[in-house]
Amino acid sequence: MRFLGIDYGTKRIGVAISDENHTLAFPKEIVLNDANVLKKFAEIIKKENIKEIVIGESIDFSGKLNALSGRIEVFILELQEKFNLPIHKQKEFLTSVEARKAGNSKNDLSPSHSHSRVKQIKSGRIDASAAALILQRYLDKINNH
Q: pLDDT value at position 102?
A: 53
Q: pLDDT (tens digit, 9 = 90+) per residue, 20-70?
A: 999 999 999 999 999 999 999 999 999 999 999 999 998 877 777 788 999
What is the rounded CA–CA span in Å between residue 24 and residue 88?
A: 17
Confidence of residue 93 (pLDDT cuts 50, 70, 90): low
What is the rounded CA–CA span in Å between residue 66 and residue 111?
A: 37
Q: pLDDT value at position 5?
A: 98
Rounded (10°) angle between helices 115-143 and 95-103: 120
Q: pLDDT (tens digit, 9 = 90+) per residue, 109-143?
A: 434 444 444 444 445 578 899 999 999 999 999 99
Residue ranges and CATH numbers for the domains of the chain are 2-143 (3.30.420.140)
Q: Is the dihedral of CA 110, 113, 116, 117 positive or negative?
A: negative
Torsions phi, psi for 30 (to 5 deg):
-115, 135
